[in-house]
Structure 1
Amino acid sequence: MEPIIHTIFEKQTGTWQYIVACPNTRQAVIIDPVLNLSLSEFKITTTSADELLAVAETNNYTITRLLETHAHADHLTAAFYLQQRLLAQNKPKALISTGRRIRQVQETFAAKYAVPNAELEQAFDHLFDDDETFTIGDITAQVLHLPGHTPDHSGYKIGSNVFTGDSIFNPDVGSARCDFPNGDANALYNSMQKLLALPSHYKLYTGHDYPPADSGREPLPFVTVAEQLEGNKHVKKGTTKEEFVDWRRKRDASLNEPRLLHQALQVNIRGGRFPESSDGSQRTFLQVPFHIPQFR
């Protein structure tokens, strides 16, 4: 059985969000939902997340899981916000879920941002094992471990569709950076080859799209395995691992850090929760580390 798939593009961060539903039972999951963050206004809003809720409501879906492909460094997840909104509507609890290697990422960035362990232990309701299966109504989905961009990265195979996160981009964009802690260009090449070994008609739904300025095209949520093999500019058929790794490492060395890196990681390793307010208000504080000179 093939699922119903809704594709919702968040323009500010170039992120694809997905609602994937069983046509028989109307049970559904949401993949990689986004909170809207304005750095100029120091303000977080829920426009994008509320759009997801509206689609679910219009189609009479019961959201059973909120799936993260990895700890994103370019946007804040709306998973916890969505879970709380659904609970407030007396809906069943939607489980915030991701791959089990999120624990490694939590450990890395908890030390950097002084995040208490108590705020991490219950951040996710379920951590998937590699190749674990779960159900969306009458459909069986499978978790794929796809490391490289980050060590915790997972994809979700649902019918003949794979929601790849940042493990592969559309052909004229290519691939994602591998210079985050424990990222690995060798591992990313292997993950991309795992995806490219799937049947040629499978659809690979990407986590982002950044259409090149000269392409004249609109953002695309997916292309097929066959199209990726034919045209992915970084790993098309015939590209060797050595060629890819050499290019990827040189490219990554020239990149600036993502604009929302520090804010995103502090929220995303908490499963979408924010640090507790010290004064009980709606304000919260996220750390931005600086390297300062040693003064004598």
Structure 2
Amino acid sequence: MILERSMHPQFLSNTYLVAAREGGEAFFVDAGGPMEPLFEAVERHRLTPTHVLLTHHHHDHVCEVPAILERWPDVQVLIHPTERDLVDTATGTMEAGTTVRAGGLDVQTLHTPGHTSGMLSLLVDGNVFTGDTLFKNSVGGVRAPDSTSYADLKHSVMDVLLALPPETILRPGHTDPSTVAEELEHNAFARVWRGVDPEGDEPCTALGERATLVLLGDDYDGGHKAWVRWPDGRDDIVPGSKVQRGA
């Protein structure tokens, strides 16, 4: 399998080019750019792109779709039905739990909501493209536009993605790859959810409100992501920069 990655220098978002073989069809996963390295890879491998498969609708994952369509106007741009109207350049939808044939490969669509309602992870040939649900040593937040809930995110991470075979390679929407085995062992959120490490109980202020800091974990950009619990017992995952410890 051919797999090439390009990462945006500011967004740190990944765009992937995937194909079964040289000289065949190919597809992109997301389209945050920069696209030129992937366009060069298309030429180098003599590929014909036929699809753009979008994990979700956020700008840093879709902003370069027009550049792809300018080169290949017949490319199908697919996204989960609940987010179809949020991306002007989408041409169709892909339902969760189905298989899309693209790039000479079977791509299984896994519904992994939390960060957005229609978030899809894409499983193909031992690799899973996780969008903004699961990162190396971190997880997605549930405060972005169209996010759903902490419960959804936890289910998507633990019961869908980390339930895959341990050797499965995780290809996240931002920064570096990992594996299921590595995240089960080292991801701080997964370790607490598995019961390996205890929850914290430090008082804090989060988003200007009193809360309990359950976990201050890493984020993909070198900062932090915080799991907090509100006084009414609800759990939330918020940017670490929005948390004041000991407050």
Q: After TM superposition, is the score higher than 0.5?
A: yes
Counterparts in 2 of 1:1-296, with a 5 A limit?
Answer: 3-23=1-21, 26-35=24-33, 48-74=34-60, 77-87=63-73, 93-103=74-84, 106=86, 120=88, 123-171=89-137, 174-180=138-144, 181-193=146-158, 194-209=160-175, 220=176, 222-236=177-191, 238-239=194-195, 246=228, 249=236, 251-252=238-239, 255=242
Query: How far apart, in 1, do the equivalents of 2:124 and 2:153 lie?
Result: 21
Contact 2:169 2:178 in 1 (8 A): yes
Query: How far apart, in 1, do the equivalents of 2:134 and 2:71 lie?
Result: 31
Contact 1:13 1:75 in 2 (8 A): no
| Deviation sequence 1:156-212 (CA, Å, 0-9, x none) | 1111100001010102xx112101344211100000011000001110101012xxx
Query: How far apart, in 2, do the equivalents of 1:205 and 1:170 lie?
Result: 9
Residue segments in structure 2 that go unaligned for 5+ positions in a row: 200-213, 216-226, 230-234
Query: How far apart, in 2, do the equivalents of 1:231 and 1:66 lie?
Result: 32
Higher percent of residues as strand: 2
1:4 maps to a residue whose letter is: I
Query: When the two structures are superposed, what TM-score results if normalisation uses the length of structure 2?
Result: 0.75
Query: How far apart, in 2, do the equivalents of 1:149 and 1:204 lie?
Result: 17
Identity %: 26
Query: When the two structures are superposed, what TM-score results if normalisation uses the length of structure 1?
Result: 0.64
Which gives a bigger RCO, structure 1 or 2 (Cα 8 Å, sep 6+)?
1
Q: 4+ runs of 1 displaced by more than 6 Å?
A: none
Residue segments in structure 1 that go unaligned for 5+ positions in a row: 36-47, 88-92, 107-118, 210-219, 257-296
CA 76–64 in structure 1, closer or farther in 2 if over 3 Å, else same: closer
| Deviation sequence 1:82-138 (CA, Å, 0-9, x none) | 112224xxxxx11011111104x73xxxxxxxxxxxx95xx4222011111111244
